[in-house]
Amino acid sequence: MPPALLQPDSSLAFRPSAERGTALDAQIRDAFGDSVRRVLETLAAQDLIDVQVVPHVADGVRRHGPPGAIAAYASLVDAIFAERGGEALDNAQALVQAALSPVASTPRCVTLRDELLGAGQAARYQRLFDDDEDGPLAIEPLADRDLERAARLTVEALALLDAGAPELGGEIRALLREIIFARSGSARPAERFNGASVFLAWGAVLLNVDEMPDRLTMAETLAHETGHNLLSGFTGGRPLVENDPAERYDSPLRLDPRPMDGIVHATYVLARMHYCLERLLQSGLLSDQEGVTATAAIAQRRRAFGAGLDVVDRHARFTPIGRAAFEPARQYMADVRA
Q: What is the pLDDT of residues 141-152, one digit of tens each?
A: 999 999 999 999
pTM: 0.93
How many whole angstroms separate alpha carbon 79 and alpha carbon 140?
25
Angle (CA) 279 164 263, round 5°: 45
**Pairing state between β 139-140 and 195-196:** unpaired
Does residue 254 sit in helix, strand or coil? coil
Does the pLDDT of residue 4 top 50, yes or no? no
How many whole angstroms separate alpha carbon 285 and alpha carbon 226?
22
Q: Give the per-residue pLDDT at 283.
A: 98
Q: Give the per-residue pLDDT at 91.
A: 96
Q: Give the per-residue pLDDT at 254.
A: 78
Does the pLDDT of residue 294 top 80, yes or no? yes
162, containing H or E segment: helix 144-164
* Confidence bin at 159 (pLDDT 50/70/90): very high
34-78 pLDDT per residue, tens:
999 999 999 999 999 999 999 999 999 999 999 999 999 999 999
Average pLDDT of span 173-187: 91
Does the pLDDT of residue 1 top 80, yes or no? no
Of 72, 81, 82, which Cα lies nearest the Cα of 127?
72
